[in-house]
Amino acid sequence: MEGKVQGQQPLLTPYKMGKFHLSHRVVLAPLTRQRSWNNVPQPHAILYYSQRATKGGLLITEATGVSDTAQGYEHTPGIWTKEQVEAWKPIVDAVHAKGSVFICQLWHVGRVSNRGFQPNGQAPISSTDKALTPQIRSNGFDVAEFSAPRRLRTDEIPQVVNDFRLAARNAMEAGFDGVEIHGAHGYLPDQFMKDQVNDRTDKYGGSLENRCRFPLEVVEAVVKEIGADKVGIRLSPFGHHGQAGDSNPAALGLYMVESLNKYSILYCHMVEPRIRAPGEMCDCSHSLAPIRKAFNGTFIAAGGYVQEDGNNAVAEDRADLVAFGRWFLANPDLPKRFAVNAPLNKYNRETFYTPEPVIGYTDYPFLEDVSYEP
C-alpha cells in the first residue's frame, strides 16, 4: 500500500509500534475458530494465518490456552505443552515469511467452562463460586452449559499467574513477536476485575485496586519474563460478556491503563463500549477517548469496525490501530480491498466455529489482482 491511495486512507498509513514498523493499521483481531484438534494447532492454520499476512501487517492469534485448566471450548489451541509449541512454529514461520508481526493471545476462560473441559473432571476455577447461567453459543443455536466454578484460594492465585508467565515464555520459544494477555470478554482476568462477578473479601476483591490486582500481577510476571516491549493486553471494561459487567466501567478502564503505564507495555487493545456482548451492538454514551488519552503506549480499538469508521478513528486520533474480526475472516486480503475500495466478501456466521479445515476457514476468495496507479 503506497502512493496516493495510502495517503487518502489513515488506515493505510505506516505506524511504528515499539520496535515494529507497520506498513498499515489494519490488524487481524483475535478470532476463536475451533479447528485445533486436542488443543494442538493444526497444519491448516498455516494457510489461514499466512493468507491474512502482509508485509508490515499485525496479526493476533485466536485465543490460546495457558494451561490445562484454561479451556472452555472444543478444539481451541493451547501453548502449555511442548507439542503445542512445536505445532505453532510452522504457523509463525509462515506469517513471518510474509513479513507480518505475529502476536499470541494468552487465554484462561475461568468459569466459562465445565467439568468436561477440565483435568480429572474438576470444577473450573474463578474469582468466585457463582455459576454462569446457560448461554446460547455464538452460533446462535447451541446451548452452553457451565459447571459451578471453584473460588481460587488466595494462595493459589500465584500459580495461575505463573501459568501465564510460562505460556509467554513458550510463545517466545514458538517464535512469536509478543503476546497479548486476554483480559476481556468475561474470561478469568475479567472475572476478577468486574464487580458483578468478583465477590471476594481478600486482597483480590472489594476495591477497584484489589479487583485489578490479579490481571496486573499477570502483566508484571509476563513483562519480567519476556520484556515489556513484547506485551499487550486486551480489555473490555464496558462489556457484559459472560455475565461480567461492572458498575463503573469508565473508572475501571481508566484505572487499568494508568496502572499499565507503570509497566510501559507495548499496547492496549480495547473493545468499544458499543459491544456489550458477542454480536450485540448498542448505542452507548461512553467513549474510549479518555482511556486512550491516558494510555502511553499504542492503542488498538476493536468492536464492530468497518472501513469508514476505522479510517475516522485513526484520523481523529481515537486509535493508533484498528482490529477487524469478521471482515478480515471473510476477506484475507482486507488491506488491499480497502486500498482500492473494493467490495467485500460477506462472512458466513454458520462456519465461524465449525471444526472444518477448509470451509469457512481458508476458502474465502481473494480479490482478483487489481492494478491501480500508485
Tell me if 112 sits within 8 A of 242, measured CB to CB: yes
Using the structure block, give the residue that is written with the C-alpha cell 494468552.
106
Catalytic residue among 187, 353, 361, 364: 187
Whole-angstrom distance, CA of residue 200 vs CA of residue 370: 57
> How far out from the chain centre does Cα 100 lie?
17
> How far out from the chain centre does Cα 134 lie?
23
Active site annotation includes 15:
no
Query: For the residues of 237-285, what is the DSSP string, one character each?
Result: TT--GGG---S-HHHHHHHHHHHHGGGT-SEEEEE-TTEEETTEE---S
- Which residues are within 8 A (CB) of 174 and not within 5 positions of it... i.e. 6 or more apart? 79, 85, 86, 88, 89, 92, 104
Within 10 angstroms of residue 15's Cβ, the number of other Cβ atoms is 18
**H helices within 316-359, ranges in order?**
326-330, 334-339
Catalytic sites, residue numbers: 187
